[in-house]
Amino acid sequence: MVINDLLPTHEDQGVLPTHEYRRVLRWGGLAGILGGVLLIVVFAIVGAFVGTFAGPEAEVAAYPAVRVARTFENSLYLLVLVLWAVHLIALYRALRATSPAPALYGSVLGIMSMVVLAAGALPHVVTAPISDLYHAPGATPEERATLVLAWQSSQSIIDSLLIVGLVIAPIGLLLLGVAMVQTPAFGRGVGRVTFGLGAAGAAAAVVLLAMPESPIAAVGIFALIAFHLVLGWRTFRLPANGLVG
* Averaged pLDDT, 110-117: 97
> Residue 54: pLDDT above 50?
yes
- C-alpha gyration radius of the chain: 21
190-231 pLDDT, tens digit each: 999 999 999 999 999 999 999 988 899 999 999 999 999 999
pTM to 2 decimal places: 0.88
- pLDDT value of residue 245: 33
Candidate ranges 45-49, 93-97, 228-232; pick with highest mean pLDDT: 228-232
Per-residue burial over 118-133, b = 16 or more CB atoms within 10 Å of its CB, e = otherwise: bebbbbbebbeebbee
> Residue 2: pLDDT above 80?
no
